Structure 1
Amino acid sequence: MQALPRRIPPLLHPKHFNRINPALSAASVRPFHAGAQLRALDLAFDYHENGGKATGAPIVILHGLFGSKKNNRSMSKALARDLGRPVYAIDLRNHGDSPHDTTHNYIALAEDTENFLQQHNLKDPTLIGHSMGAKTAMTVALRNPESCASIIAVDNAPVDAALASDFPKFVMGMQKVEEAKVKTQKEADKILEAYAKDLPVRQYLLTNLIKSPESSANHLKFRIPVRILAHSLDDMADFPFSDPEKNRFEKPALFVRGTRSHYVSDETLPIIGRFFPRFELVDVEAGHWVISENPEEFRRAVVEFLQDKE
């Protein structure tokens, strides 16, 4: 699998510029220590087994920030069919039908995922994650390499890198929607349009809008805890590991990046190679939302990668 030639400057915090330079010594693990014990949450999930025909090693799909297991329903069914492997599409903490908690960083997300693998006795799974889910999958693999057989990281890299400026805008827009106590999706979309110009992005965000659970209320509310996630944006930009000499995943890893996205620039490839020495790279004609923007090309890349490993 070959990557298309390109060079896009990484959107990194200045204090982390040297963190992706292989010629410089790496720092130690970040302050929230990778071995810290947090309260793991029981995660909601959908199970896809292609009518009982999928019997191979499991696949676990992790969505991105503001997403849910529903975003990966079609892809989950396709992979279960094409690979003959059962697929678990999970809701990460503070998303979808999973519980909420004030702690939202990659160590907490990884511990939830590891707990899920243990609860369901999943042996040699492949973890597929997009964006936030990609960094979660990478964190699981580096914390506990024996917990998975391979990972597929979609449009994110193991570096501290600022989120696109769109994400704070999305949060602000969702907060404005809740403050307005809207009663219809149309009202919410009109408010959100000022913060998210693209209709597909607004539709993605509005999948989280539900009737307020308060019995006396007659307005809509986001089922995700917008305030918690707003306060966690910096944590979503970080990555909890910085020393590939201490934490490395020696098993197969596929990195899929969107050709119109900045999250996996050429400058990040050396550090990816140090953390994941067996990594392969595939470019998909898409922006950041690779799976929804170009599902067929993404599906082909995943199937080819996993079939090669069988």
Structure 2
Amino acid sequence: MLATRLFAGSRLAFQPLSTRAFSSSPTNANLKLAYDFYEAEKPDAKKDPIVFIHGLFGSRKNNRSMSKVFARDLNRPVYAIDLRNHGESPHDPRHDYTALAEDVEGFLQEHKIERPALIGHSMGAKTVMAVALRGKVKISSLIPVDNAPVDAALKSDFGKYIQAMRKIEDANIQKQSEADAILAEFEPNIGVRQFLLTNLARGKDGIQRFRIPVKYLASALDNMADFPFKDPEEARWEGPTLFVRGTKSHYVADETLPIVGRFFPTFKVADVDSGHWVISEKPQEFRDAVVDFLQDAE
């Protein structure tokens, strides 16, 4: 359930909109990020675009349906991007929030995207917070989803997922059902397994392999628990900010809210009755929170 103290509900309907897939050119040393572009039905230059960023082991495809909804309901263009080492974006052994933020900044500069609303889930949440606090580009609104600007250990599940992926790759399997059987030893939730298995692709030899560089991401798990900013006195972003958190998740616990407020003094919180996978678990509530917040910010 969405926190009614902040928002009112409405029905969610997914309808097709025109979508274009692109790759961006790198700016400076930033990587070339793959992305999809969702056009607003009635383009309005006065409305800020949205840049939508996935979480660890995800991709822009995870946000396809919601990107269409935002383009339609908010009448804003939406860019859904793949961060480095995810989806169709390049692989690089460096994977930390400073590098991820630099990639996003380069993407915005290359495409002349001015004052976007940044939405990011999990790893994407810390990435958009880092972009805001770095102050290298101008943004209009910030929506971190189920993560906080603190150093906090990842759930042990992520380490298990890495183990499962390595076991799948070592098995040289040819059927996704075989990969799912291995993954089921580590993760009972079929929805989470299906999410992870979207990273599998069949090679010319018929073997299923992961698109993501499992070795690089395994080495980066400690970086994903970290946050590059430690002192709110040295970095602060005072623009409109909405933290959407799952009430069954521990990533934005009540005790983190004072530090959230020091980094982002105008922040609001929308509580959704879900676990960490807020967007896929409760799409209607997530949509309502974001649409209401961005409409109020216009």
TM norm structure 2: 0.89
Q: Does the 8 Å contact 2:131/2:137 carry over to 1?
A: no
Q: Identify if the C-alpha distance between structure 1 residues 156 and 265 changes in structure 2 by more than 3 Å, giving closer, same or farther.
A: same
Deviation at 1:197, TM superposition (A): 1.2
The CA distance in 1 between the partners of 2:293 and 2:41, in whole Å, is 24
1:240 aligned onto 2:228: yes
Task: Give the aligned length.
Answer: 275
Return the alpha-carbon distance in structure 1 between the equivalents of residues 80 and 227 of structure 2: 23
- Counterpart-to-counterpart distance in 1, 2:43 and 2:230: 41
For 2:167 and 2:82, the matched residues in 1 are separated by 25
Deviations 1:209-258 (CA, angstroms, capped at 9, x unpaired): 0012xx4x221100000110000000000000000000000111100000
* 1:38 and 1:108 in contact (8 A); partners too: no
**Would the aligned equivalents of 2:33 and 2:107 in 1 still touch at CA under 8 Å?**
yes
Distance in 1, matches of 2:145 and 2:178, equals: 33
Confirm or deny: 8 A CA contact 1:60 1:90 kept in the other structure: yes
- Tell me whether 1:157 sits opposite 2:141 in the alignment: no
Alpha-carbon offset, residue 50 of structure 1: 3.8
Q: What is the Cα deviation at residue 271 of structure 1? A: 0.2
2:276 to 264, 270, 288: 288
Match for 2:111 among 92, 97, 120? 120
Secondary structure in structure 1 of the residue aligned to 2:108: helix
Please name the residue that 1:173 is paired with. 164
Q: 2:201 aligns with which of 196, 200, 210?
A: 210
Report what 1:48 is aligned to: 38
User: In the alignment, which of 33, 39, 52 is matched to residue 29 of structure 2?
Assistant: 39
Q: Assess, with a 3 A threshold, how the Cα gap between structure 1 residues 221 and 54 changes in structure 2: closer, same or farther.
A: farther
- What amino acid is aligned across from residue 255 of structure 1 in structure 2? F
- Show the counterpart of 1:226: 214
Instruction: Kindly indicate whether the alpha-carbon contact (under 8 Å) linking 2:41 and 2:75 is maintained by their aligned counterparts in 1.
Output: no
Counterpart of 1:144 (choices 120, 123, 135) is 135
Contact map agreement 1:54 1:80 (CA 8 A) in 2 = no
TM-score computed with the length of structure 1 as normaliser:
0.86
Deviation at 1:51, TM superposition (A): 4.4
What residue is the counterpart of 1:249 in the other structure? 237
For residues 3 and 196 of structure 1, the distance between their equivalents in structure 2, rounded to whole angstroms, comes to 33
Question: Is contact 1:129-1:135 (8 Å) kept?
Answer: yes
Q: Give 3-state SS (helix, strand or coil) of 1:170's partner.
A: helix
Tell me the distance in 2 between the aligned counterparts of 1:264 and 1:92: 22
For residues 4-153 of structure 1, the aligned pairs below 5 Å read 39-51=29-41, 53=43, 55=45, 56-144=47-135, 146-153=137-144
Q: Indicate which of 283, 287, 290 corresponds to 1:299.
A: 287
User: Is the contact made by 1:106 and 1:235 (CA closer than 8 Å) also made in structure 2?
Assistant: yes
- Alignment check: 8 A CA contact 1:257 1:264 kept: yes
1:183 equivalent in structure 2: 174
Match of 1:200 among 188, 191, 195: 191
SS of the equivalent of 2:256 reads helix
The CA RMSD measured in Å over matched residues stands at 1.7
Structure 2 partner of 1:271 = 259
Specify every segment of 5 or more residues in structure 2 that has no aligned partner in the other structure, as ranges.
Answer: 6-26
Show CA shifts across 1:131-182 (max 9, x none): 0000000000000164211110000000000000100000100110000011
Q: In structure 2, what residue type is equivalent to 1:167?
A: F
Please give the secondary structure, in 1, of the residue aligned with 2:94.
Answer: coil
SS of aligned partner of 1:147: coil
* 1:295 CA displacement: 0.4
